[in-house]
């Protein structure tokens, strides 16, 4: 229950735009894949407005933005994945306070999960490279043939792996996909204001809004007493 002193037992994080600022490397990979087709490059800000739904959605949005009506996305998705693999963390930065927050939540005995629309293999590699993998009890990224957020399946699989029910968990994310996924799973959500949301973060409908990761413990405390 929300009022319990150790609530939430689990905190599940989104990755891109929440724990890491990965847009520059995503932009590079996208421009490599679309540049092969002669398309004009995208800026990092343009990519921030298109990211959040997984690579196929990003590629589809990008191709439509360049005027392709019914684009064949799969070859471009494959090229993106190959290009991204070469530069997973070249310009990617952990957001301020992320490591300290993960340390604190772990020290408090909470279980930590990661639930991202980034493809699974790239997610694991990035967490290793940034020395973040050690904090998570369960990591699930996009798996081929499985629905992506906002479908609640990814998050429910994380909760099952953590052995925590929906009422004892909080999802922390930056986009509509995270909030909708959390709602569909019956999980309360916290929205960060510094990520890649296409909608103003305060309009996403999360249960709390934070403008830095260091604010999360206090936000969780307010949510706990707000049963």
Q: Which residues are catalytic?
A: 14
Chosen residue from 12, 118, 127, 168 binding ligand PGA by CB under 6 A: 118
How far CA 123 is from CA of 120, 175, 189, 207, 223, in Å, comes to 5, 18, 21, 26, 29
Choose from Mg ion, ligand PGA, none: what does 216 bind? Cβ within 5-8 Å by kind: none
Residues comprising the chain, all counted: 227
Considering only residues 161 to 180 of the shown chain, the ones binding ligand PGA according to CB under 6 A are 175
Q: With respect to Mg ion, which residue has the nearer C-beta, 39 or 132?
A: 132
Q: With respect to ligand PGA, which residue has the nearer C-beta, 25 or 207?
A: 25
Burial class of residue 59 in the structure, from the number of CB atoms within 10 Å of its CB (0-12 exposed, 13-18 middle, 19+ buried): buried
- Residue 101 is encoded by which pair of tokens? 């927050």
Binding mask 166-205 for Mg ion (x = CB under 5 A): --------xx------------------------------
Nearest to residue 206, comparing CAs of 225, 226, 187?
187
What's the CA dihedral at 207, 23, 137, 140 to 10 degrees? 90
Q: Which residues bind Mg ion (CB under 5 A)?
A: 14, 16-17, 174-175
Binding site for ligand PGA (CB under 6 A): 14-17, 51-54, 58, 116-118, 149, 175
């Amino acid at each position: 229950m929300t009022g319990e002193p150790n609530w939430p037992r689990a905190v599940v994080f989104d990755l891109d735009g929440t724990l890491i600022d990965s847009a520059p490397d995503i932009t590079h990979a996208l421009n490599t894949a679309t540049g092969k087709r002669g398309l004009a490059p995208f800026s990092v800000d343009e990519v921030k407005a298109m990211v959040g739904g997984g690579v196929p959605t990003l590629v589809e949005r990008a191709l439509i933005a360049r005027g392709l009506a019914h684009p064949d996305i799969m070859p471009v998705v494959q090229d993106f994945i190959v290009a991204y693999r070469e530069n997973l963390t070249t310009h990617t930065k952990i957001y301020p306070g992320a490591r300290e927050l993960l340390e604190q939540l772990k020290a408090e005995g909470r279980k930590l999960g990661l639930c991202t629309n980034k493809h699974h293999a790239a997610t694991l590699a990035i967490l290793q490279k940034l020395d973040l993998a050690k904090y998570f009890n369960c990591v699930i990224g996009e798996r081929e043939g499985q629905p992506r957020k906002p479908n609640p399946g990814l998050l429910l699989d994380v909760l099952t792996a953590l052995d925590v029910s929906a009422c004892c968990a909080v999802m922390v994310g930056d986009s509509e996909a995270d909030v909708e996924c959390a709602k569909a799973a019956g999980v309360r959500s916290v929205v960060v204001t510094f990520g890649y949301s296409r909608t103003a973060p305060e309009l996403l409908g999360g249960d709390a809004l934070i403008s830095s990761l260091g604010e999360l413990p206090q936000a969780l405390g307010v949510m706990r007493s707000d049963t």
